[in-house]
């Protein structure tokens, strides 16, 4: 179990030890909370503000920043996925065998999708690596996908069109950071880290009372 979750555990340790600070620390929070996979759009502003040194720092912790997602490749390995799936066994949603799965009315948690190497794209659940391969092939073909591309991606032409439209629509939306933030799973080995996400603000200073000035008694009134 320890080896399977090593990427997340290492990232968690970096946050707790203070090895990660500032924007990289915030991105690491989001990754850990979501099980290792997040929509790039959710942290787009943070990514744009990263310095080259901060980007290299994240890469040293195996954080991959792709065209559509930010993720830890290690969590997509079979052993890591099997362990992660054990922690979300109570959630009813399970993806289909196809490359794209239609999402139910009640969207599954980001952790469940991460456990299967997926993330939400509009009304679909799509593979993280497939999305990146799609972006690379579209860039190489200047937006045009040939039959060989579709076969490699495991999707039909109609699915490719629907997926591309969903990606464009979600990229145009402004993410709500509070709504997209994943809630910690009680049984998750990383649930303790959620306490770090709510940093208490500085304590309010007590108001100092000014001493009351005593007026001297008027002559003759003593």
- pLDDT tens digit sequence for 172-187: 766 545 434 444 444 4
pLDDT greater than 70 at residue 87: yes
Nearest to 159 by CA among 98, 76, 81, 72: 98
Burial label for 193, CB within 10 Å (0-12, 13-18, 19+), is buried
What value does the mean pLDDT of the chain take? 82
- Between strands 37-39 and 69-71, the pairing is antiparallel
Count of C-beta atoms within a 10 Å radius of residue 116: 22
- Work out the percent of the chain whose per-residue pLDDT is above 70: 77
Q: Is 97's pLDDT higher than 50?
A: yes
Residue 202, pLDDT above cutoff 50: no
Task: Give the pLDDT of residue 4.
Answer: 73
Residue 147 is classified by DSSP as H
**SS3 call for 116:** coil
Span 82-103, average pLDDT: 87
E strands within 68-129?
69-71, 100-102, 118-121, 124-127
């Amino acid at each position: 179990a320890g080896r399977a979750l090593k990427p997340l555990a290492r990232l968690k340790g970096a946050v707790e030890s203070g090895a990660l600070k500032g924007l990289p620390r915030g991105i690491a929070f989001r990754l850990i909370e979501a099980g290792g996979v997040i929509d790039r759009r959710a942290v787009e502003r943070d990514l744009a503000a990263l310095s080259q040194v901060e980007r290299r720092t994240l890469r040293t912790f195996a954080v991959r920043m792709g065209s559509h997602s930010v993720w830890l490749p290690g969590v997509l390995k079979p052993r890591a996925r099997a362990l992660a799936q054990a922690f979300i066994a109570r959630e009813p949603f399970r993806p289909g065998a196809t490359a794209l799965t239609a999402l139910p009315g009640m969207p599954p948690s980001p952790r469940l999708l991460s456990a299967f190497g997926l993330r939400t794209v509009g009304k679909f659940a799509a593979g993280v690596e497939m999305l990146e391969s799609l972006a690379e092939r579209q860039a190489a073909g200047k937006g045009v996908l040939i039959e060989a591309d579709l076969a490699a991606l495991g999707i039909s032409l109609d699915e490719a069109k629907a997926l591309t439209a969903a990606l464009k629509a979600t990229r145009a939306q402004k993410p709500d950071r509070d709504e997209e933030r994943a809630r910690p799973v009680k049984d998750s080995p990383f649930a303790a880290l959620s306490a770090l996400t709510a940093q208490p603000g500085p304590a309010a200073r007590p108001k100092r009372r000014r001493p009351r000035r005593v007026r001297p008694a008027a002559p003759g009134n003593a």
